[in-house]
Amino acid sequence: MATYFNEPSRTFSEYLLIPGYTSEDCIPANVSLKTPLVKFKKGEEPAITLNVPFASAIMQSVSNDTMAIALAKEGGISFIYGSQSVEDEAAMVSRVKNYKAGFVTSASNVMPDQTLADILELKERNGFSTVAVTEDGTANGKLVGIVSSRDYRVSRMDVSTKVCEFMTPLSKLVTAPGDTSLKEANDIIWDHKLNSLPIVDDDGKLMYFVFRKDYSEHKLNPNEILDEHKRYIVGAGINSRDYETRVPALVEAGADVLCIDSSEGYSCWQKKTLDFIRSRYGDTVKVGAGNVVDKDGFLFLAEAGADFVKVGIGGGSICITRETKGIGRGQASALIEVAAARDEYYEKTGIYIPVCSDGGLVHDYHMTLALAMGADFLMMGRYFARFDESPTAKLVVNGSYVKEYWGEGSNRARNWQRYDLGGQSKLSFEEGVDSYVTYAGPLHDNLEKSVYKIKSTMCNCGVTNLADLKRDAKLTLVSSVSIVEGGSHDVILKTSRTNN
Ligand code: IMP
Beta strands in 382-427 (DSSP E): 394-397, 400-406
The top-scoring range by mean pLDDT among 118-127, 147-156, 406-415 is: 147-156
Whole-number Å distance, alpha carbon 422 to ligand 1 midpoint, is 21
Whole-number Å distance, alpha carbon 249 to ligand 1 midpoint, is 25
Counted residue by residue, the chain has a size of 500
Provide the residue type at 174 as one letter. Answer: V
Residues annotated as catalytic are 319, 418
Whole-number Å distance, alpha carbon 188 to ligand 1 midpoint, is 47
Contact 367, 15 (CB under 8 A): no
379 Cβ below 6 A of ligand 1: yes
Residue 199 has φ and ψ, to the nearest 5°, of -100, 120
264 Cβ below 6 A of ligand 1: no
CA-nearest residue, atom 21 of ligand 1: 319
409 Cβ below 6 A of ligand 1: yes
Which of 459, 476, 447, 468 lies closest to 67 in space, CA to CA? 447
Residue-level pLDDT at 500: 57
Give the residue, out of 58, 408, 416, with the most ligand 1 atoms within 8 A of its beta carbon, to mutate for a pocket test.
408
Contact 199, 188 (CB under 8 A): no
Predicted confidence (pLDDT) per residue in 434-482, tens digit: 999 999 999 999 999 999 999 999 999 999 999 999 999 999 999 988 8
Give the residue, out of 54, 58, 59, 292, with the most ligand 1 atoms within 8 A of its beta carbon, to mutate for a pocket test.
59
**Span 112-132, average pLDDT:** 90
Check residues 206 and 425 and name the one with the higher pLDDT.
206
Question: Which of ligand 1's atoms lies nearest the C-alpha of 58?
Answer: 10
- Residues 159 and 229: their CA atoms lie apart, in Å, by 46
Whole-number Å distance, alpha carbon 463 to ligand 1 midpoint, is 31
306 Cβ below 6 A of ligand 1: no
Whole-number Å distance, alpha carbon 274 to ligand 1 midpoint, is 22
Q: Give the confidence band of 219 by pLDDT, cuts at 50, 70, 90.
A: low
Predicted confidence (pLDDT) per residue in 69-107, tens digit: 999 999 999 999 999 999 999 999 999 998 877 788 888
If DSSP codes are grouped into helix, strand and coil, which group holds residue 158? coil
- Residues 207 and 477: their CA atoms lie apart, in Å, by 56
Which of 218, 212, 259, 228 lies closest to 93 in space, CA to CA? 259
- Whether the per-residue pLDDT at 143 is higher than 80: the answer is yes
59 Cβ below 6 A of ligand 1: yes
Give me the chain's average pLDDT, please: 93
82 Cβ below 6 A of ligand 1: no
176 beta partners: 199
265 Cβ below 6 A of ligand 1: no
Query: 82: phi > 0 → left, psi -120 to 50 → alpha, else beta; which?
Result: alpha
If DSSP codes are grouped into helix, strand and coil, which group holds residue 12? helix
